[in-house]
Amino acid sequence: MTSKNDTRSGGGSLLHRLPAFPPWGAALIGALLVAIVVAIGNDAFLTSRNLSNIFAQTAVLAILATGQAFVMLTAGIDLSVAAVAALSATMLGVLTVANDLPWFVGLVVCLVVGAAIGALHGVLVGRLLLPAFIVTLGGLMVWRGVALQLTGGINTTGLADPIRWLGRGLVAGVPVPAIISVLVVAVSTLVIVKTKFGVGLRAIGGAEGAAARAGVPVLRYRITAYVICSVLACLGGIMLAGRLDSAGGNLAQGFELQVIAAAAIGGVSLFGGTGSPVGAFFGAILIGLIQNGMNLGGVSPFIQQIVSGGILVLAVGVDQFRKYLARRIL
Amino acid sequence: MSALNEAMTAVPLLEMRGVIKRFGGVTALDDINLRIDPGEVVALVGDNGAGKSTLSKVIAGVLQPEDGDVLVDGTAHKITGPTHARSLGIEVVYQDLALAPNLDIATNLFLGREIVRRGAFGWLNTRRMRAEAKEHLDSLDVNVPSLTTPVERLSGGQRQAIAISRATYGGHRLIVMDEPTAALGVRETAKVEQLITRLSERGISVLLVSHNMAQVKKITHRVLVLRRGRLVAERRTADVSAEDVVSLITGAREE
C-alpha cells in the first residue's frame, strides 16, 4: 500500500478491491452471511412462509428508510418518520372507519397531509435554517401527540379490505408490501441516480455552497426531499396499519431509530452526499434477517437489541474503512 | 500609454468606465477604467484590501457598482447578478472552486446545467454529458484518470483544472480567476498556467488575480495594479520586471 502504482492493474488483494464496492456492499454481504448462518442453524428459516414473512415485515422499514435516504443525502435527518407514519395511520382510521369515507379518499387525504408535513419540515430546515435534528425531533413529539389526541389514544380496527391488502395481501404468493417496497426502492434509486433532481440532492449534501452557485435550486430540492420522506412515511404507516388491522397513535413507537439504522447500514452517509435507496433496502433486509434469525433461535429481545446496536456501528465502521482505503489507494 | 493605444482598434470584450463602488463611507473602487480584449490574459495585482476581490465581484455581477459603466462587446450592461454575467459570457472560478467533492468529474462539469432528455422529469442524458465532458477536457488537454472519478480523489491541480474547464464550458469568453494556483505545488502550478495559456490561444480572456509575480511575468499580457481602490498603473507585462510590479503595488514607485 506504500506505492500508488501497484493497484493500477485492477487485480490485487481483496483489500485493494474493497473501495470499488458500492457503499451498500457491506449490507448485502452481511445480509447474505446472516441468511446462510441462520439457514444452517434453523430449518424453519428457509420455508417460503418464513421468507415471505421477513419481506412483509421489512417492507415498511425499507420504504421509510428509502424516504430517509432522500433527506440524508442532503446532509439532513428526519427523526419524525415513525410519528408521521402513526399520524397517517390514525387519520386513515378516523376518516374511513369512524367517518365512513371511502378508503381511497382517506388514503389520498393522508398522503396529502404527509406532503404538507414534509413541506413544513423542509421550509423550517431550508428556509429558516433550523437544524434538521431539532425540527424533526420536535416533529416526532408533535405528530405523535396529534395522533394520540385524535382518538384519545384508542386504536381503530376494521380497516377497509384494500388497506389491509396493502399490508398483508398476496399476489401470486408474493406479499404485496414486498412488491410495493421493491417498486418504491427501484423508482427512488432511478430518481436519485438518473435525474437532475437526484444530482442536485447529492450536490447539496456534498457541497451546498457549490451547488447553489452552480444554479441548483437548493431550497426547492431540499423541501422536496422532506416531502418525499414524509409521504413515504405515510405510505409505510398505512401499510403497517393494514397489516395489523390496527391504527393508532402508538403505532411504530421508536421505529425511527431502526429506519435511520437501516439507511446508515446500507451506506447512506449521515454527512450527506453519498448513498442510495438500494443501500437503505439492503440495510432494512439485514436488520429484518437478524431479527428473524434471533427470533427463530429464541434469543432474548434484550440480547437482540445489543446485537442490532453492535451491527449498526460495525456496518458504518466498515463503510468508513472502505472510504479510507479509497483515499489511500486511488 | 502610447503602446497600449495601438491595441484599441478592436472592440474590447470588457470595458469599465469610471466604475465606483462604495461600502458605507468606504470607497472600495474609485473611478476604475479598464479594458480586456479577446484572448488577453490580464493580471490584477495589489496588496490585501486594495480592491481586487471587489473588482472581480463587480465583473462577476455579484456586486453592483454605484456609478460608472460596464461594457461587454461595446454595449453598456447593468449586470444584475452572476446568472446575468454568465449569460454575457463572464464566469468566475472561485478560490474554493465550487465543486461537489462527492460527485464525479462529468457530473461536476454539468452541475446546474445538466443535459436532460425530453420530458418533464429531468431525466439525465449521462452518455451525452460524458461524451461532451471528454471532448471539452481533451480540447483543453486536461488529463484526468476517468470521468467517473469523484472529484475528492483528484489532486489539487486536477481539481483546479476541472474548475477552470467547467468555467469555460458553454462558450464563456472571460474567466475571472482568484489566485488559481495559491494552494498548488510547483508541477501542478505549471499545468494550470499552461491551461490558462491555452485558453488565451483559443480566444478566451482571463482576468488573473495573483500574488505570484513570477507567474504574472510568465503568463499574462498586461498588468493592472490596484492600490486602495484606485487603478494606479497599467503596464504591458513585457515592459516591466517583477520588481517593478512589486514597487507599483506597494507604492514605492509612482506613475
In a domain, residue A250? The reply is yes
Residue A234, all three cell numbers: 405515510
- Domain of residue A43, CATH code: 1.10.3470
Domain segments of chain B as ranges:
2-98+159-250
Instruction: Give the end-to-end CA distance of chain B in Å, rounded to a whole number.
Output: 11
SS3 state of residue B88:
coil
**ipTM surpasses cut 0.95:** no
**What per-residue confidence (pLDDT) applies to B200?**
93
pLDDT tops 90 at residue B3: no
Q: Report CA A51 to chain centroid distance, whole Å.
A: 20
Please give the tally of structural domains in chain A: 1
In terms of residue numbers, what domain contains A113?
A: 21-325
Rounded to the nearest integer, the mean pLDDT of chain B is 87
pLDDT digits (tens, 9 = 90+) for B177-194: 988 888 788 888 888 899
The DSSP bridge pattern shows strands B205-209 and B174-178 to be parallel
Residue B175, all three cell numbers: 474567466
**Bridge partners for B39 per DSSP:** none
**What per-residue confidence (pLDDT) applies to A222?**
98
Distance from CA of A76 to the nearest CA of B (A): 16
Residue A56, all three cell numbers: 412483509
CB B114 within 8 A of CB A196: yes
A199 contacts in chain B (CB < 8 Å): 103, 107, 111, 114, 124
More confidently predicted of A15 and B6: A15
In a domain, residue A85? The reply is yes
Distance from CA of A5 to the nearest CA of B (A): 13
Which residue of A195, A206, A209 is in closest CB contact with B102? A206
| Spatial distance between the Cα atoms of B101 and B87, rounded to a whole number of angstroms | 26
Mutate to test the interface with B, among A199, A204, A270 (most CBs of B within 10 A): A199
**What per-residue confidence (pLDDT) applies to A22?**
74
Pick B2-98+159-250's CATH classification: 3.40.50.720, 3.40.50.300, 1.10.260.30, 3.40.1440.60: 3.40.50.300
Q: Residue with C-alpha cell 467547467?
A: B166
Residue of B nearest to A195 (CA): B123
**What per-residue confidence (pLDDT) applies to A21?**
66
pLDDT tops 80 at residue B10: no
In a domain, residue A173? The reply is yes
A197 contacts in chain B (CB < 8 Å): 122
- Entry pTM: 0.86
Under-70 pLDDT residues of chain A: 1-21, 326-330
- Whether residues A211 and B100 touch (CB distance < 8 A) is answered with yes
Residue of A nearest to B114 (CA): A196
**What per-residue confidence (pLDDT) applies to A1?**
34
pLDDT digits (tens, 9 = 90+) for B37-77: 999 999 999 988 888 989 998 998 888 999 999 999 989 99
| Spatial distance between the Cα atoms of B211 and B217, rounded to a whole number of angstroms | 11
